[in-house]
């Protein structure tokens, strides 16, 4: 029973019809249409004729690459989702379109995932993976690119994150449809996919290193620039923009998760038997249970999320400034020693 449950939860990144309530399905159709429409506009602006067959064949390639599996432990095996890889090699907008086509074709021809919930499936496995994978990889490589492990590290983290985010979004949708208790879905889904994500990260990193070694010309030029160290340093405004964008989305989605205890709290509750010691009455909790006292309901959660976002952004901004200053110093000393 437990094993079947875990197996089906693993498969559950492809949500089938009936699992999501109609409002949730409709909402994610809207989000998907909006974001894919935006990606279409962005891609068409910069489209050259050559890219249409390239993206089409790449979509087929991602589909086929999902068959390349490798055994992990026991009977389970890992394979690629491919969102991060597509976004890194083709760019995030083209990546969104390619992954949209992959997920859509899987549903239409192979019955992987339902039709009513296709909006949610495309959002989770297409839009979310490509956007977050592309953005996180970009930021990370711009920061740590020049180190020997820069490319491997950035692509590993970016790809790992896409799987975990995708699983998180899937469980939030299931919970918002009130089909499943949050205490069951969230920890299981996220826990299992934190492991599966390792496979995704390793494969993506290995594939990218392979491509960089054999055909660096097909990768976006900025990656090679970054590796050689000939790129201009990343503007702080860009880092800030990316961070705010991602964090803002998370904050807007936070009402979905508002009533769901997170994995850590859940574990504490199960282990300790009593109430969790993290949120209630702890001196650390400035915003008890992610709400602002005196403001009601979902709005309060969003506001609390935004406050948290601002704090995180401030911390990130500070550390980014520190890193840049130190890097500038080392570069200065280097140029002195070489001259």
Among positions 221-260, residues that touch other proteins (CB under 8 A) are none
Q: Which two tokens stand for residue 243?
A: 């961070």
How many Cβ atoms are within 10 Å of 149's Cβ, its own excluded?
A: 10
Q: Is 7 in the site for other proteins (CB under 8 A)?
A: yes
Q: Which residues pair with 78 in a beta bridge?
A: 70
The only residue of 105, 195, 249, 307 in contact with other proteins, by rule CB under 8 A: 105
Range 61-73 burial, b when 16+ CB lie within 10 A, else e: ebbebeeeeeeee
| 214 near other proteins, rule: CB under 8 A | yes
Q: Judged by CB under 8 A, does residue 40 bind other proteins?
A: yes
Nearest distance, CB of residue 61 and other proteins, angstroms: 4
Which residue, 6 or 287, is less far from other proteins as judged by CB?
A: 6
Q: What is the DSSP letter of 167?
A: H
Residue 51 C-beta: closest distance to other proteins, Å: 9
The verdict on 270 binding other proteins (CB under 8 A) reads no
The least distance separating other proteins from the CB of residue 93, rounded to whole angstroms, comes to 11
Applying CB under 8 A, does 111 fall inside the site for other proteins?
yes
**Nearest to other proteins of 140, 182 (CB atom):** 182
Angle 161-166-172 from CA coordinates, rounded to 5°: 125
**In the window 138-167, what residues touch other proteins (CB under 8 A)?**
none
Integer angstrom CA distances of residue 322 from 17, 210, 235, 315: 49, 33, 14, 11
Question: Of 81, 84, 87, 97, which lies in the binding site for other proteins, with binding defined by CB under 8 A?
Answer: 97
The residue (of 181 and 288) whose beta carbon lies closer to other proteins is 181
Total of residues contacting other proteins (CB under 8 A): 82
Distance, CA of 314 to chain centre: 22
Which listed residue (24, 32, 78, 138) binds other proteins by CB under 8 A?
78
Q: Which of 129-137, 204-212, 300-308, 331-339 is the region at the interface with other proteins (rule: CB under 8 A)?
A: 204-212
Neighbours of 84 (CB within 10 A): 33
Does position 186 bind other proteins by CB under 8 A? no
Sign of CA dihedral 103, 109, 114, 118: positive
Our finding on whether 193 is near other proteins (CB under 8 A) is no
* CA separation, residue 314 to residues 240, 251, 303 (Å): 9, 16, 17
């Amino acid at each position: 029973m437990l094993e079947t449950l875990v197996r089906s939860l693993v498969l559950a990144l492809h949500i089938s019809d009936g699992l999501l309530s109609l409002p949730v399905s409709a909402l994610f159709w809207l989000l998907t249409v909006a974001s894919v429409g935006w990606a279409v506009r962005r891609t068409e602006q910069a489209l050259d004729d050559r890219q249409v067959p390239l993206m089409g064949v790449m979509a087929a390639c991602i589909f086929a690459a999902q068959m390349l599996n490798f055994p992990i432990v026991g009977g389970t095996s890992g394979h690629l989702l491919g969102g991060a890889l597509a976004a890194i090699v083709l760019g995030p907008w083209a990546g969104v379109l390619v992954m949209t086509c992959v997920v859509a074709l899987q549903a239409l021809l192979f019955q992987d995932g339902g039709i009513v919930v296709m909006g949610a499936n495309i959002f989770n496995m297409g839009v979310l993976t490509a956007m977050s994978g592309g953005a996180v990889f970009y930021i990370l490589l711009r920061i740590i690119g020049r180190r020997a492990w820069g490319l491997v590290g950035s692509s590993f983290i970016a790809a790992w994150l896409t799987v975990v985010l995708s699983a998180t979004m899937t469980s939030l949708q299931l919970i918002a449809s009130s089909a499943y208790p949050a205490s069951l879905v969230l920890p299981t889904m996220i826990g299992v996919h934190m492991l599966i994500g390792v496979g995704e990260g390793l494969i993506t990193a290995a594939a990218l290193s392979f491509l960089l070694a054999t055909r660096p010309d097909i990768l976006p030029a900025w990656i090679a620039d970054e590796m050689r160290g000939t790129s201009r340093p990343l503007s702080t405004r860009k880092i800030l923009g990316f961070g705010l964008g991602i964090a803002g989305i998370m904050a807007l989605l936070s009402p979905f998760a508002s009533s769901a205890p997170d994995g850590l709290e859940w574990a504490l509750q199960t282990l300790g038997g009593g109430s969790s010691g993290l949120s209630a009455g702890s001196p650390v909790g400035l915003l008890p249970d992610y709400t602002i006292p005196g403001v009601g309901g979902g709005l309060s959660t969003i506001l609390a999320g935004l406050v948290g976002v601002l704090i995180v952004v401030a911390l990130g901004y500070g550390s980014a400034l520190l890193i840049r200053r130190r890097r500038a110093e080392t570069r200065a000393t280097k140029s002195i020693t070489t001259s």
